[in-house]
Amino acid sequence: MTSSPILKLEHRANECAKYLLESESLLCISHVDADGLTSAAIATQALQRAGVSVSTAFSKKLSDLELDQIAKMPYDTVLFTDFGSGKIDKIIEHKELGNFTPVICDHHQPSDILQINSEPINHRIADLDFHLNPLLFGIDGATELSGAGTCYALAKSLECNGANNRDLSALAVVGAVGDMQAKNGGLSGANIDIAKDGADAGVLKITRDLSLYGKQTRSLPKLLEYSNEFGIPGISNDSSGSIKFLNNLGMELKNNGKWKTWSGLSPFEKKEIVNELVRHSISRGLSASKINSFVGLAYELELEVIGTELRDANEFSTVLNSTARYGRPDVGLSICLGNREEAFARAKNLLAIHRKNLSMGISYVLRDGVSIEENFQWFHARNQIRDTIVGIVAGMVLGLEGTDPNKPIFAFAETEDGDLKVSGRGTTALVENGLNLAEIMSLSAQHVGGEGGGHNIAAGATIPLNTEKMFLEKTKTLLLSQPN
Ligand code: C5P
Ligand code: C5P
Ligand code: ZN
């Protein structure tokens, strides 16, 4: 029998948990996105259930300055969730100065491997006892385990006094889905163990279903129209085509004159629509691989109300991004902790703004154009797209008309602090050929006096204004040195 991949983290997770259970004053600091919020929610609930009190804070990025500020706070122990590994060199310095004891629960690439002139990786990592990161145990942090999943491993080790933390697996799945780890038909690797825990605990329903975004809340015509990833002629990106397709099915797809949502359909109706989508696509010559991608594993939060954003792991993660990326991580955290009234109402307002910004951002990029260079492509959003969502927009436009699906994309936007934010996004195929964006973003940023890091497939950086040209020149050279 093969053992579950998540168990590879168990020993280190037990060591981290043992230390945390004895900590006197504890701060949990987490990243402001869906994975960061779910990470914090899982860690803090597990700690509280174990009788440990913990304060929570969030940060856009863990800068040197922020670490200095954290060091001045009156906490003996700092638990970093969904970031920390990318700053391991600085964190070790604080530990050595006795400022705090760090515990890191992250899945980003450790900064040891991202530094120019760094000490050998094993030496630096060995300096830190409480570093829980799938990458240290042979698990891919970009595709097989998220920050929330790593915190879930910790939560299991924190179980004591009869507590059972398996219910927290639902949030771990939301974090993984939010980090785009369910891209190719479903979750993989250690994430599968977590989803299975969720199903066993009755908090997750895993089904084979249409792999489109918005199954809970989008009206059927919009659900089909926004199926860019399928590229179905006459349906994707075609409002009247989608309505015509649905009308031609001869089914009752409206309730009191209002289009139903996918979640409001019977299994028979869902099956009929998928079958007809397949027939329609075959007759229009869509590739078999595209058609096969119509259906994949979907993750529903069994305890949430059907027809709400929180029922679907994907929609839930967008709600969380709408709060965290707009300066309201407290609202998102509150939802994760079970507040379904005031916080959810607030989040819905933020969601409307987020959706509008994403759609305006995509239009801006497509209108203004992407500059395609020899081995990469880029666009500059200046102050037209918020720095906190420019990475999401970059990921969404990659592969659309006007971009090259076979080159990584880099996106620039101005920040409120007078810096430049850069987001890089790649594809699975590019990563398989050797692309490591975390390394590129880190080294190119250091080259121009900034800092960056992340994952092989998606990474980010902050650099000084007016350094984009130098940043891209360095990036071009680094890309040539990676074997893709
Ligand atoms: O900081 P964190 O790891 O939570 O953020 C991951 C980011 O990388 C997300 O914005 C996600 O969309 C992106 N990503 C991606 N494809 C992957 C993994 C992550 O676009 N396979
Ligand atoms: O900000 P963006 O969505 O582009 O970030 C992509 C990935 O890179 C995320 O996982 C984020 O945490 C990481 N990142 C980082 N260091 C930065 C900026 C982003 O590790 N300075
Ligand atoms: Zn993450």
What digits encode the pLDDT tens for the residues 184-230? 899 999 999 999 999 999 999 999 999 999 999 999 999 999 998 89
pLDDT value of position 111:
82
pLDDT digits (tens, 9 = 90+) for 21-64: 999 999 999 999 999 999 999 999 999 999 999 999 999 889 99
What is the whole-number distance in angstroms between the Cα of residue 285 and the centre of ligand 1?
A: 32
> How confident is the model over 228-278, as pLDDT tens digits?
889 999 999 999 999 999 999 999 999 999 999 999 999 999 999 999 999
- Which residue minimizes the CA distance to atom 7 of ligand 1? 179
Looking at domain 369-481, its CATH class is alpha beta
Average pLDDT value over all residues in the chain? 94
Distance (Å, rounded) from C-alpha 177 to C-alpha 191? 10
State the pLDDT at residue 1: 47
For residue 183, give both structure tokens.
Answer: 């891209």
β-bridge mates for residue 274, sequence order: none
- Per-residue model confidence as pLDDT tens digits over 135-154: 999 999 999 999 999 999 99
CA distance 441 to 408: 12
Weakest mean pLDDT among 282-286, 353-357, 388-392, 397-401: 397-401
Residues found in the chain:
484
Which residue lies with its CA nearest to atom 18 of ligand 2? 460
Contacts with 411 (C-beta within 8 Å, 6 or more apart), sequence order: 365, 378, 379, 380, 381, 385, 390, 391, 393, 394, 422, 423, 424, 425
Burial per residue of 102-134, b for 16 or more beta-carbon CB atoms within 10 angstroms, e otherwise: bbbbbbbbbbbbbbeeeeebeebbebbebbbbb
CATH of domain 5-174: 3.90.1640.30
Tell me the angle at which helices 468-481 and 437-447 cross, rounded to the nearest 10 degrees.
140
- Ligand 1 and 221: CB distance under 6 A: no
The pLDDT assigned to 260 comes to 97
Atom 3 in ligand 2: residue holding the nearest Cα = 391
The token pair that represents 265 in the structure block: 């359909």
User: Rounded mean pLDDT of 9-19?
Assistant: 97
Q: Which amino acid is at 365?
A: V
pLDDT at 93: 93
In this prediction the pTM is 0.95
For the chain, the structural domain boundaries read 5-174, 215-281, 369-481
Q: Which residues contact 1 (CB under 8 A, 6 or more apart)?
A: none
Contacts of 419 (CB under 8 A, 6+ apart): 450, 462, 463, 464, 465
